[in-house]
Amino acid sequence: MLDYDFMRHAFAASGIVAVLAGLVGYFLVLRGQAFAGHALSHVGFAGATGAVLVGASPLLGMLGVTVLGGVLMGALGERLAERDIAIGVILTLSLGLGLLFLHFFTSYATAATSLLFGDVLGVDIPTIYELLGLAVVCLLVLGGIARPLLFASLNPELAEAKGVSLRALGLVFLGLAGLTTAACAQIVGVLLVFALMVGPAATAQRMTARIVPGLALAAALALGEAWAGVALSYTTDWPASFWISALSGGLYLVSLALFRG
């Protein structure tokens, strides 16, 4: 399997994205913002299809629009009720734009399918370097805000009383989630971002309430699911995105049965 360049590329790209998704997704689930990841993936689809229509890179279009969408979600509401409304507004707007761009995107049906469902076996060396650079930036930012983010996630009222700016922190984190969503979409597509960003993190939080072991477990689960999905895709000739999402959902269901929250 590893004799082929495209398989080595697939393992490298999926591994980079999986570790990033597991770590960022852990905080996304902890903060009750899993819906935001789903919305950002649709925002990214609109950005990617719009970029292709004007002759730009779909990855750059997805990156720019998901970050903008994340920042807008954070700016429009910080309480749970406000946040859900803000996410819903951004989601519906992006879906409308995505539908419009898809209307003009019909001559690129294969590329549209790759955006929707991912194409990890088609990743090339430049894309791997782009994903690696993106992951390094995201992890540096996450490391810089991890302590106040954890404080604000567990006890927002006390964190605000101690001088933590919840709105500014929310803006930065949702922008970071936007970057991670764009990276995940390169592997599993915009429709299955939950598989890497939410599934492993939710499973890890079912298995342990401790923060550091939970973060490590989320990253390890995401990495294992991604690599197993790529390997199973090679042996069965079924889409890697299917296997990754099936493993993610299956492990979460197992955790529901074995670990009581």
CA pair distance 54, 52, nearest whole angstrom: 5
Does position 175 have pLDDT exceeding 60, yes or no?
yes
Q: What's at 195, amino acid-wise?
A: A
Residue 251: pLDDT band with limits 50, 70, 90: very high
Residue 248: pLDDT band with limits 50, 70, 90: very high
Does position 153 have pLDDT exceeding 80, yes or no?
yes
Does position 158 have pLDDT exceeding 80, yes or no?
yes
pLDDT at 152: 86
pLDDT in tens, 57-104: 777 777 777 778 777 776 765 554 456 666 677 777 776 776 677 667
Compare 77 and 175 and report the one with higher pLDDT. 175
CB-based contacts of 84: which residues, under 8 Å, 6+ apart?
A: 35, 77
Q: Where are the domains of the chain?
A: 5-194
pLDDT at 117: 63
Q: Which CATH number fits domain 5-194: 1.20.58.390, 1.10.3470.10, 3.20.20.210, 2.40.50.140?
A: 1.10.3470.10
Return the closest-CA partner of residue 228 out of 248, 257, 203, 198.
Answer: 248
CA pair distance 244, 35, nearest whole angstrom: 19
**Mean model confidence pLDDT for the chain:** 82
Residue 110: pLDDT band with limits 50, 70, 90: low
- The answer to whether residues 97 and 53 touch, using CB atoms and an 8 Å cutoff, is no
- Lookup result for tokens 């009720």: 81
- The answer to whether residues 62 and 185 touch, using CB atoms and an 8 Å cutoff, is yes
Handedness of CA 132, 137, 143, 146 (dihedral sign): negative
- The answer to whether residues 196 and 18 touch, using CB atoms and an 8 Å cutoff, is yes
Does position 228 have pLDDT exceeding 90, yes or no?
yes
Helices then strands, counting H and E runs in the chain, come out as 12, 0
pLDDT in tens, 14-30: 899 999 999 999 998 98
Compare 109 and 130 and report the one with higher pLDDT. 130
